[in-house]
Amino acid sequence: QVQLVESGGGLVQAGGSLSLSCVASGTIFLTYAMGWFRQAPGKQRELVAAITSGGATNYADTVKGRFTISRNNAKKTVWLQMNSLKAEDTAVYYCARGRTVSASSMPEHYDYWGQGTQVTVSS
C-alpha cells in the first residue's frame, strides 16, 4: 500500500521560510515523478512544483525563484523549500506521486496523495 506522509507545515510571517518534507512507503519511488500541490479555501488544487526521478523540475509561475523542490530517491523523500513566503501562499499543501515519470502540472496525472499539511502565512 502506497503511503505519502507530509510534515513541516505551520504558521510563519510573510517573508519567512518553511521546509516541507514527504516520505513515501510501499512504492518504487525511483520510477515516478513527485509533486507538491496546494489548495486554498474556495480554490482548485494547483501545482506548486514537480520533479522527475532524474531531477528535472516544473514550477508554478507564482513560486519560481522562491520555492525549490528536491528529492532523494534512496530515502524515498521529496522536499519543498519555501522562501520569501507571501500571504497568498497560505493553503493546504499536498505531496503526490505521479502516474508516470513526467513532472506534470495536472492533478489528474497523480495517483497517490498525502493527507496534506497546513501552511499559513501571516501578513
Query: With contact defined as beta carbons under 8 Å apart, do 80 and 49 qualify?
Result: yes
Task: State the Cα–Cα distance between residues 75 and 53, nearest whole angstrom.
Answer: 13
Q: Which of 24-28, 41-45, 52-56, 117-121 has the lowest mean pLDDT?
A: 24-28
* pLDDT at position 10 over 90: yes
Q: pLDDT value at position 108? A: 96
Four-residue CA torsion sign, 58, 46, 32, 25: positive
Task: State the Cα–Cα distance between residues 40 and 43, nearest whole angstrom.
Answer: 5
pLDDT digits (tens, 9 = 90+) for 77-104: 999 999 999 999 999 999 999 998 899 9
Q: pLDDT value at position 43? A: 97
Confidence of residue 30 (pLDDT cuts 50, 70, 90): confident
